[in-house]
Amino acid sequence: MDFDKVLQLLRELHRHEVEYVLVGAVAMIVHGIVRTTSDVDLFVRPDAANIERLRAALSAVWDDPAIVEITAEDLAGDFPAVRYVPPEADMPLDILSRLGTAFRFEDIESEIIPFAGIPVTVATPRQLHRMKKDTVRLQDHADAEALREHFGLEGD
């Protein structure tokens, strides 16, 4: 993964005032738990104005006409998760407005943390732990344990 592109993406999300919450492994990195990953996971508010800002932010990073195919109608409707794979990039983005019935953008507990000089809206450690602890993926279980240990999360 080209981490410079991740930083550029985070800068553009901030610059375009996108309502988003970073989740997944990159969120763990922002919180100081280093682990490898091959994608970026973003929850976004699925309203038309916000998705327009999201498309503008993505277009500032990648020159890709396919970005216009990301729509608020999809994210607010039957397709609440879109995988965007930038051209000539090894960094897919999973753009979500909800994850099944368990999590919706509005439900994600977040905070703003400065990371590499960029204010990043990121899920709190407790929220990340909640999102990872009961999945079937072994990596998520390892992540949940790392979060629990690093932040002293008990009984969550």
Q: Counting beta carbons within 10 angstroms of the beta carbon of residue 121, is it exposed (0 to 12), middle (13 to 18) or buried (19 or more)? A: buried
Q: What pLDDT is recorded for position 1? A: 65
pLDDT score, position 91: 86
**Structural domains of the chain, ranges and CATH numbers in brackets:** 3-150 (3.30.460.40)
User: How high does pLDDT run on average in the chain?
Assistant: 94
The span from the CA of 139 to the CA of 131, in Å, is 12
pLDDT tens per residue across span 85-135: 999 877 899 999 999 889 999 999 999 999 999 999 999 999 999 999 999
pLDDT at 19: 98
pLDDT digits (tens, 9 = 90+) for 40-65: 999 999 999 999 999 999 999 999 99
Locate all alpha helices (DSSP H) within the chain, ordered by sequence: 3-15, 24-30, 48-61, 72-76, 125-132, 138-151
Q: What is the CA radius of gyration of the chain?
A: 15
Q: How far apart are CA 120 and CA 21, in angstroms?
A: 8
DSSP 8-state class, residue 36: -
